[in-house]
Amino acid sequence: IPTPPANPQNGQQTNQQTTSTANSTGPRNSSRNETTNYEVDRTIRHTKLNTGDIQRLSVAVVVNYKTLPDSKPLPLTAEQMKQIEDLTREAMGFSEKRGDTLNVVNSPFNPVDETGGELPFWQQQAFFDQLMSAGRWLLVLIVAWLLWRKGVRPQLQRRAEAEKAALEQKNARPD
């Protein structure tokens, strides 16, 4: 065992080992805590793009069938569809490098009525809409008439009777 210097200088303290007979014979309480973290590191990257930068375009176009007078609608030819697709690519600024997609489909917009003609006017939606509008106005008129008949008119009649009675009373008095 190394021995410490006899006189510590400049206020230095030395680690002196002292043995105590009182502590060595008593029971000792000791505890040991150990925490092991097995964490996986992750990297979060935030990229701020300029305003208005386009990452990718996905465009879908539906083209109506061609309608000829006095015939059923006909689908467009492959050549016409190719022209529409090329025109759409140019208009949207198509770029394969950016990952853009374009889908052009030819489909009839309004199904053909196979029944042979128009519905009678009372079965058409426009007639029903006009009927509902007229019904709303009729309801407003009925409510206004009832308010006049049950509320305003009796008040006016009572007032007229009161004025008539007051006038008769005034005329009946001798002055």
Predicted local distance difference test score (pLDDT) of residue 116: 60
Residue type at 158?
A: R
Where helices occur in the chain by DSSP H, the ranges are 21-25, 78-92, 125-147, 153-172
The C-alpha angle 36, 41, 42, rounded to 5 degrees, equals 150
Predicted local distance difference test score (pLDDT) of residue 117: 66
Predicted local distance difference test score (pLDDT) of residue 148: 93
pTM for the whole thing? 0.38
Identify the segments of the chain with pLDDT beneath 70: 1-28, 37, 49, 111-117, 174-175
Predicted local distance difference test score (pLDDT) of residue 1: 59
Predicted local distance difference test score (pLDDT) of residue 120: 85
> Biggest alpha carbon distance in the chain?
145
- Asked if 106 and 63 count as a contact pair (C-beta separation under 8 A), the reply is yes
